[in-house]
Structures are given as C-alpha cells and as structure tokens.
Amino acid sequence: MRRLRFALKRHRAVLISLAAILLLSGILTMFSFGSPQALSVSGEITNWGLSFQEEGQPPIGNVSQDALGKYNALFCTQEREKVLYITFDAGFENGNTEKILDALQKHGVKATFFLVGNYFETQPELVKRMVADGHLVGNHTYSHPDMSKIADEKSFEEELRKNEELYREITGKEMPKLYRPPQGKFCESNLEMAKKLGYHTVFWSLAYVDWYENDQPTREEAFSKLLPRIHPGAIVLLHSTSKTNGEILDELLTHWEEDGYQFGDLSEFLLKR
C-alpha cells in the first residue's frame, strides 16, 4: 500500500511538472511576436488593434512596429514631420468613389486603394481612373477571406495572384506590392508569406467605424474621431463605400491641411526604407 501511495505521488509530481512546462511554453509563444495579444502560430487569429494614449500622438498597436518591420509590415511610418498617408478599402462600389476621387484630386492627394477581386471585375473604369490620377492600388485579396486561417503558401498566394492578374488586364501594368489583410486578421506566418511574395503588409494607425452602409456616422461623429486622433506618420484607413466619407472628405482634408499636415505617397516612403 505504501508503495502504491509513493507511485501515485510520483505520478502526480510528473504531471504537475509537465503542466508547468506547457504553460511556460504557451506564455513564451504569446510574447515571442512582441505583444501579449500577438500570436505567432499559423492559424491563430490576431485582430489588429490600437490603443490611443495621447491626443495628437501615434497610438500603440497590439504588435510593435519593430516586430512588424521584420516582415516588411507597418501601421505607422513613425515620421516626426506632419505627414500622413490616406488609404481606402473597397469591396464593392455604391456610388461614393467618384466624390472621393474628386476631393483627392482637388487637394492633390495621392491615396492608396486596397481592392478586392469583385471591385476589379465590376469597376474597371474606376480602377483606371485611380491609376490615371496617380493613386496606388493595393491588394486586399481576391475573395476577402480570413487570411489568418490560410496556412499553406499556395492558397495564400492564390488570393493575391488573382488580383495581380486582374490589375494587369485592366491597366497593362504590374500591381504595386502592397497588401492589407481583410478585417485586419493575420498571424505571423501570414506576414512571412506576404514578405516572401515581395509584399509590404500595410495596417493602419487611424480609422473609425465607417463601413456599415446602412448605419453611417454623422459628420460630427466622423470628425470627433478623425480630427483629434491624427498624428505625424499616420496611415489613415477609410472605406470608399462610406457616404459620410464622400460628403466630408474635402472638408476633412482642409482641416488637416490647416493643422499643418501634408499628404505622403506610400510607395515613395517605402522606397526610402
């Protein structure tokens, strides 16, 4: 009986030791990518997130810029000068893009439009105008899936390659190697695969809830988010499907200009890195 109790105690001690090792391993995995929320294993979802600490200053991302930089990824250019970068995500067209392009043209702003496959297939003339106006057209994937759940390189590449082919058919040019994960969902292996394909992954350092077509923010609600949170080196995410954005963009750009901001070109910034 005494031998049995001793064996049980020894077995329990082994189990406790194994549990401690597994727990420590999990903690190290969570922190290996630069943030407690940043998971490093393929297939584990990380939702891009920001914490604004001080008005007029860059927010803190749930993955540091240094960690992202290892994969040619960024969310803020970290410039001290008052330069910001305007980007739009577009999955479909609902009549607001022309107004947005007109406002950008009026202010001489070169933006980046991250488009999905549906947009290329249904709006080739708008894509042509974007390029003719000097804007960059980036890759928002062909079918807008949760890319963090795609673990094999072939499937990941296919989502980007289809858009490259559509862009080439429409413009006769090669697509800029700029990629934005749909919904900001990603994992470390995604960033590695994008880098291997020659892409820069572009997140953002300023956005607001503008994507619900039937629940658009008011002008006042938009300005309450977009004006006080602007900061040097900001990468601003807007949606071209937003009626509010179409209505306020001219005024918004004017406000930022009056605050001393200039508008940068992402491709030019990346060439300097």
Q: What is the pLDDT of residues 192-223, one digit of tens each?
A: 999 999 999 999 999 999 999 999 999 999 99
- The mean pLDDT of the chain is 87
Q: Is 89 a catalytic residue?
A: yes
Quick check: 31 pLDDT over 60? no
Q: Which residue has the tokens 């090669």?
A: 174
pLDDT number for residue 44: 60
Residues ≥6 apart with Cβ < 8 Å to 49: 37, 61, 62, 184
Residue count (the chain): 273
For residues 255 and 18, the model is more confident at: 255
Indicate the pTM of the whole model.
0.84
Quick check: 184 pLDDT over 90? yes
Residue 88's pLDDT band (cuts 50, 70, 90):
very high
Write down the catalytic residue from 135, 140, 231, 239. Answer: 239
pLDDT number for residue 272: 78
Quick check: 132 pLDDT over 80? yes
Write down the catalytic residue from 89, 140, 200, 231. Answer: 89
Q: How far apart are CA 117 and CA 155, in angstroms?
A: 15
Stretch 93-108: mean pLDDT = 98
Q: How far apart are CA 107 and CA 2, in angstroms?
A: 86
Stretch 97-102: mean pLDDT = 98
Backbone angles phi, psi at 105, to 5 degrees: -65, -40
- pLDDT tens digits for 103-116? 999 999 999 999 99
Q: How far apart are CA 102 and CA 258, in angstroms?
A: 20
